[in-house]
Amino acid sequence: MSAQSSPSFYVGDLPVYGEAILSPMDGFSDLPFRAMARRLGSAMSYSEFINAIDVMQGHPSVPQKIAYTAAERPMVFQLFDDDPARLLQAALRLRQHEPDIIDVNMGCSAKTVAGRGAGAGLLRQPAKVAQIFSTLSRALDIPVTGKMRLGWDDDSLNYLEIARIVQDNGGQLLAVHGRTKKQAYSGEANWEAIAEVKAALSIPVIGNGDVRTLADIARMRRFTGCDAVMIGRGAIGNPWIFAGLDREDVPAEQVRETMLAHLESMLEFYGAQRGLVLFRKHASRYISPFRLSVEQRQQLLTSQTAADFTRLVDQMSVAELAPA
């Protein structure tokens, strides 16, 4: 919990402190990154999205996806599927691991997910969305929430219909990414649509899309009236945004310390080899503002051991670690 004394909003009876939240991102919002963002000020933690089929079949990836620390609470497990009965069974099974919230993914635009009717594919099936939320909210003793896009494409912008269905069927919070499935991550996020959803609902609404700076957080909250702002790509390489710092305001030594601490937590969580490989996508974003040569960047991002990576960072001058 942050130093903030009064909650920013409630999810059901659950208080949430803070107005900036790390977005669930496949391949990024694992325990090491989430826990760091939470320490820096992210108001709650969302897992990477979890396939309900994997939960029911005991896929070996699930335990790592649902691993979390007590300091991350409120902890949200995000599920995706196109089958309401399987979503329910998966949610009940995950409930045994004591999350604070179960979230339904209605936003993933990946072909393998949306193409089979899950993720953003659910936006084309309003009746199924109603069935999912009514079923889960009746069966679970913790809040059920959702994260959605605006529609499948510009010709099917049914976000207000879906938003009302979520609320009317027991949903306790809705996060809205201001793009369509077809847009994926291209173009501009439509903040006006987020404002419409906020005006139409009585449950908390979280805005998502094109938030990269502190000014963006303030502007989105002012423009949409949303209860909090969800930050995805803008937090990769700049988790300090949750501590109230834009990247150019983070001292080089703080970047170094945080980057190496993040690497260490990745090694502990995934093991030495896999942890280093998975850390590279974070490292490329951490070092992107640095005044480094192409050769220096390549050496860092192809380091074969964590010790080599740390040694190369330690060899860099203060000038090289300053933003370009």
Catalytic (active-site) positions:
108
DSSP string, 47-90: PPPEEHHHHHHT-TTHHHHH---GGG-SEEEEEE-S-HHHHHHH
- Its sign, for the CA torsion 226, 232, 234, 238, is positive
Rounded Cα gap, residues 109 and 112, in angstroms: 9
Neighbours of 93 (CB within 10 A): 14
8 A C-beta contact, residue 201 and residue 195: no
| Secondary structure of residue 271 in the 3-state scheme | coil
Neighbours of 128 (CB within 10 A): 18
- Its sign, for the CA torsion 276, 278, 283, 286, is negative
- Among the listed residues 196, 197, 129, the one whose alpha carbon sits nearest the alpha carbon of residue 163: 197
Burial of 112 (0-12, 13-18, 19+ CB in 10 A): exposed
Cβ contacts of 6 within 8 Å, gap of 6 or more = 17
Neighbours of 297 (CB within 10 A): 15
